[in-house]
Amino acid sequence: MGHPSIYPTGATVYRPELAWSGYTLYQAADLGALLVDMNGKEVHLWKGLRGFPNKLLPGGYVLGSTAERDPKYGFQDESDLVQVDFAGNIVWRFNRYEWIEDPGHEPQWMARAHHDYQREGNSVGYYVPGSDPKTSEGNTLILVHKNVQNPAISDKPLLDDAIIEVDYAGNIVWEWSCNEHFEELGFDESARNVLFRDPNTRFFGDHAGDWMHINSMSVLGPNRFYDQGDERFHPDNIIWDARESNIIAIIDKRTGKIVWRLGPDYSSPELKGLGWIIGQHHAHLIPRGLPGEGNLLVFDNGGWAGYGAPNPASPYGAKNAVRDHSRILEIDPVSLEIVWQYTPTEAGFQEPLDSYRFYSPYISSAQRLPNGNTLITEGADGRILEVTRSHDLVWEYISPYKNTRNANMVYRAYRVPYEWVPQLPRPEEKAIEPLDIANFRVPGAAPRGAHSVVEVAGTISYGDGAACVARTDEKSFYLNNID
């Protein structure tokens, strides 16, 4: 299915009485970190700040990166992670994970940061009532890349995901590497065979295989399961998800061992009601202080991901799980029951004919808001929306900014309270009624409705003058049984 050549951008829907109003921060393509109000007014831009993602801290501080390393060395690696103030001054920087001596480039220190990070004082990087994100102290967890060899996984070089913890002075005080826990990931023999042959080398040629592609990582924080004695959910433990393997896991911060896991295989009877989670992003536990606290919230992208037995969609077993629509899932992590979801059905679309209308096969995220609403980044099309518990659309924004590939993608957006940016006056909020799509026309286009109208007779005429009544029952049968 193609996309229209003309579509509205900016804020398109806003129902102030039902939305949780505040500022929304997102990466506006190559422009920078952009802050918009509920009417879509661009109230502040941190020009040139890269977002993988951007996160806002109280006081108008923003976290992000200033430069990406040439992908010839490491796919999606950022050279640094920085904190800037409202005026754009860098007040904190980390870039000393690896000293890079790469042919064709000046040697340099590099963070090799990618996809996610968390500053101490807030487990998930978005607004939580009562949390206290640190702005001038505290440790930071950072998701980074490292190049490794592990013959148990493949005879080819691997682009491995690691999590490091750095103090405010930039010292690395803790590190965890995914490849060292391969035996804990649950891959069956067919998946191991596929991984060994091709650990997702993508378009890198001779470069390392992006075998897991972890895209989010956060601390669990205080939760009811730990309060009830379940050590797997220790507040210091870390949850992450891997897009290429369909795995969501929790690691014990003290031992590094995986103590809870969903995927890579979703075919077991106990997961029948859950269905396959494919290519997911932004898996995290909803923090204490928000509706649904303790539940797992994840953007289940669909698309293509996983390793396993070949099938018609995957003749070699790579990316062997396929689905052409997305889901937002809120899951009880112990019972594995779906507590709440937002799918094409809840969005009001007809499955399977137009399921693609809620579909982002890559990037994307979901944030729980204090009033119980959920902020969703449908990233592939640059769409950010807020929906209620009963699935009503109460805010929608479509990015007008396109990257060098002519796509208006948004990796991840965050909603914050107005008071987190005291440098700006509180904006005036005005409702935005949804467009009447059927009757909306661009200038110069004709309105709906035929200029000349005739009523079709209820008989069928033949050349010899005979007539018969149309068989409406046959017509109905045909229309309802189209292959």
Q: What is the DSSP letter of 269?
A: G
Closest CA to 365 of 409, 332, 334: 409
In this prediction, residue 479 carries a pLDDT of: 38
Strand 90-94 relative to strand 338-342, pairing: unpaired
SS3 state of residue 184: helix
Neighbouring C-beta atoms of residue 423, cutoff 10 Å: 11
Low-confidence ranges of the chain (pLDDT < 70): 1-3, 68-74, 203-206, 353, 459-483
Beta strands in 87-222 (DSSP E): 90-94, 98-100, 108-110, 113-119, 140-148, 158-166, 172-177, 214-219
Contact status, residue 418 vs residue 22, Cβ threshold 8 Å: yes
Contact status, residue 57 vs residue 420, Cβ threshold 8 Å: yes
**Please, what is the end-to-end C-alpha distance for the chain in angstroms?**
18
In this prediction, residue 184 carries a pLDDT of: 98
Q: What is the pLDDT of residues 116-163, one digit of tens each?
A: 999 999 999 999 999 999 999 999 999 999 999 999 999 999 999 999
Reported CATH class of domain 10-452? mainly beta
Closest CA to 393 of 401, 384, 406, 402: 384
HSE-CB at 244 with a 13 A cutoff on CA atoms is 19
Contact status, residue 294 vs residue 224, Cβ threshold 8 Å: yes
- Bridge partners (DSSP) of residue 108 are 100
**Coarse DSSP helix, strand, coil percentages of the chain, rounded to the nearest 5 percent:** 10, 35, 55
Closest CA to 246 of 194, 328, 339, 308: 308
Cα separation, 127 vs 57, in Å, equals 9
Residue spans per domain, the chain: 10-452
Q: How many contiguous H segments (helices) and E segments (strands) does the chain have? A: 3, 31
In this prediction, residue 70 carries a pLDDT of: 55
